[in-house]
């Protein structure tokens, strides 16, 4: 598949406000802008592969990308799902290690690539930017600690409920008193997020549906009763 480039100026990027680049001085932003390459990806294309060396930073301008690890049997575990404004692959870049995960496009995406050198230059010149990146990384790490504990001690039902609420927070679109999770996830992907088998997710989703907690809307899920879902997630009873 040929790479389809597109063009955009960082200062005019509609997602700048959601990005770590927000607040960067014009000079540094233009340095980023002048060195970046912007590419359009189709669903299913890979951005980077586990085991390869990062050569720069990806910055999401559109679409959704899953970042996941494959285990020996080929089972996926999705670490996170990147949306416009998010950085992609910065962990391995900053620790100067190989990628430990693979990134694949879930919904057609526009992604800008900033070469390692330009990113590091701006990072080193700009302590405030560095501080914000560090804060973001450490915040991210806190989320992972949370996930670890959740994975260790919660049931699949609880984890599914918790993850639906999390997806609702991040990708939710409000509408007629409920929230649509604006993310076309397959049951298999949802299972890879929760850390369980596809069949189990299917069964639990239909339970949640018959209990009136959620509804299906095409490939998407609508959260009808977030509070009841939270009860399922929090093990208040069990």
Partner DNA sequence: CGAAAAAAATGACTTTTATCAGTTTTGAGG
Partner DNA sequence: CCTCAAAACTGATAAAAGTCATTTTTTTCG
Instruction: Give the footprint of DNA on this chain (CB under 7 A).
Output: 155-157, 186-188, 195-200, 202-203, 205-206, 216, 218-219
Closest to DNA by CB, 205 or 223? 205
User: Is residue 100 within the footprint of a copy of itself (CB under 8 A)?
Assistant: yes
Q: In angstroms, what is the minimal distance from the CB of 83 to a copy of itself?
A: 19
Beta strand ranges found along 71-211 (DSSP E): 76-82, 87-88, 102-115, 172-175, 178-181
Q: Are 229 and 164 in contact (CB under 8 A)?
A: yes
Say if residues 65 and 109 touch (Cβ distance below 8 Å). yes
Q: Which of residues 122-181 bind a copy of itself (CB under 8 A)?
A: 124, 127, 130, 133-135, 137-142, 144-149, 151-154
Place of tokens 């649509």: 180
**Beta carbon nearer to DNA, 115 or 195:** 195
Which of DNA, a copy of itself, none lies near 175, with the C-beta cut-off 5 to 8 A by kind? none
The contact set with a copy of itself (CB under 8 A) reads: 69, 71-73, 75, 77, 79, 91-92, 94-97, 100-101, 124, 127, 130, 133-135, 137-142, 144-149, 151-154, 195-196, 234-236
């Amino acid at each position: 598949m040929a790479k389809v480039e597109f063009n955009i100026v960082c200062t005019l990027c509609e997602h700048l406000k959601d990005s770590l680049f927000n607040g960067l001085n014009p000079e540094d932003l233009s340095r980023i802008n002048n060195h970046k390459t912007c590419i359009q990806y189709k669903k299913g294309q890979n951005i980077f592969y586990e085991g390869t060396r990062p050569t720069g930073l990806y910055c999401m301008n559109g679409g959704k990308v899953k970042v996941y690890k494959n285990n020996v049997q080929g089972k996926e575990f999705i670490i996170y799902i990147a949306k416009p404004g998010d950085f992609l692959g910065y962990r391995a870049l900053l620790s100067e290690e190989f990628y430990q995960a693979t990134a694949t496009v879930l919904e057609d995406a526009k992604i800008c690539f900033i070469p390692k050198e330009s990113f590091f230059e701006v990072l080193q010149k700009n302590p405030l930017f560095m501080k914000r990146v560090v804060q973001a990384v450490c915040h991210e790490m806190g989320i992972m600690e949370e996930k670890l504990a959740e994975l260790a001690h919660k049931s699949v039902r609880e984890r599914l409920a918790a993850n639906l609420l999390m997806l609702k927070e991040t990708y939710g679109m409000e509408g007629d008193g409920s929230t649509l999770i604006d993310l076309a996830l397959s049951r298999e992907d949802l299972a890879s997020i929760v850390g369980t088998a596809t069949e189990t997710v299917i069964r639990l989703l239909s339970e949640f549906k018959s209990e009136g907690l959620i509804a299906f809307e095409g490939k998407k899920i609508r959260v009808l009763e977030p509070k009841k879902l939270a009860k399922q997630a929090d093990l208040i009873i069990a």
